[in-house]
Amino acid sequence: MVAKFFKGLTSAGAWACFDEFNRINIEVLSVIAQQLLILFRAKANNDPEIIFEDSLIKMKPTFCVFITMNPGYAGRSELPDNLKALFRPVAMMVPDYALIGEIMLYSFGFLTGRDLARKMVTTFKLSSEQLSSQDHYDYGMRAVRSVINAAGLLKRAYPDMDESQLLLRALRDVNVPKFLKDDLPLFENIMLDLFPGIKKPEANYGGLFKSIENSSAFYNVQPVEIFVTKIIQLYDTIQVRHGLMLVGPTGGGKTMNYRVLQHAMSALAG
């Protein structure tokens, strides 16, 4: 498959960037290294045509291949030396989340972007240190981005609300749904430390709660508080994330959660 891909790139003189390249198994990487060696050598010699994988293909001089990789991660292999030699390394560093957050918050119309960005980064730093380690916990750039997007949506909906309250709600809406119950009190303490004296803003969901009650009756399930809370959390998460997973034990209510929300939202739209 990769050989066919290379044939097309070479003939078109195109560039390609292989993301997370070292996730490929080491045996396959070794074969790809041999293929690239043939192509790069032909490019260096300015050959107009070459025989590659039993095919005669054009060699456009603009053809090039780039790769990205995260060394040292679980499930990723080191590049073999013959492949390393074909690429010029470019080092990357961890971005300044506070600066990125500050600029993005300003772009959403926040006036106190610098202070809020620092609080947000501190929240993630303290959470990563104090909360339990779970596979689905993420305190990197994706998490920062989700919180800022949520804060931006809230700023648009409530332009006159206190900005610290908006960020506090965004941090809660994005993070609380994924935390385990033992980690929730720890997260609440972090919030109290970073946002002292700031009340949790009440969200207005319009007729959604009443519609959820009706949909629960439709599916013959009881709209107990924790179940409704989880449905609202799913609704909040959908607003700021492109893709998500519902995880939990068998019989925990995952299927009913999204079905009731779907039915409730459809009823409101109708």
SS (H, E, C) 111-164: CCHHHHHHHHHHHHHHHHHHCCCCCCCCCCHHHHHHHHHHHHHHHHHCCCCCHH
pTM above 0.85, yes or no: no
Residue 256, classed as helix, strand or coil, is helix
Predicted local confidence at residue 74, as pLDDT: 64
How much of the chain exceeds pLDDT 70, in percent?
97
Predicted local confidence at residue 78, as pLDDT: 74
Predicted local confidence at residue 72, as pLDDT: 67
Rounded (10°) angle between helices 141-157 and 113-130: 130
Predicted local confidence at residue 84, as pLDDT: 80
Looking at the DSSP bridge assignments, the partners of residue 50 are 57
How far apart CA 230 and CA 211 sit, in angstroms, is 15
Q: Report, as ranges of residue numbers, the positions in the chain whose pLDDT lies below 50.
A: none
How far apart CA 191 and CA 101 sit, in angstroms, is 18
Predicted local confidence at residue 218, as pLDDT: 94
Dihedral sign for Cα 85, 89, 94, 97, please.
negative
For domain 2-84, the question of CATH label 3.40.50.720 is answered with: no
Rg of the chain over all Cα atoms, to the nearest angstrom? 25
Predicted local confidence at residue 244, as pLDDT: 86
User: Residue ranges of the domains in the chain?
Assistant: 2-84, 97-194, 208-269
For domain 97-194, the question of CATH label 1.10.8.710 is answered with: yes
What confidence tens digit (pLDDT) does each residue in 96-114 have?
A: 999 999 999 999 999 999 9
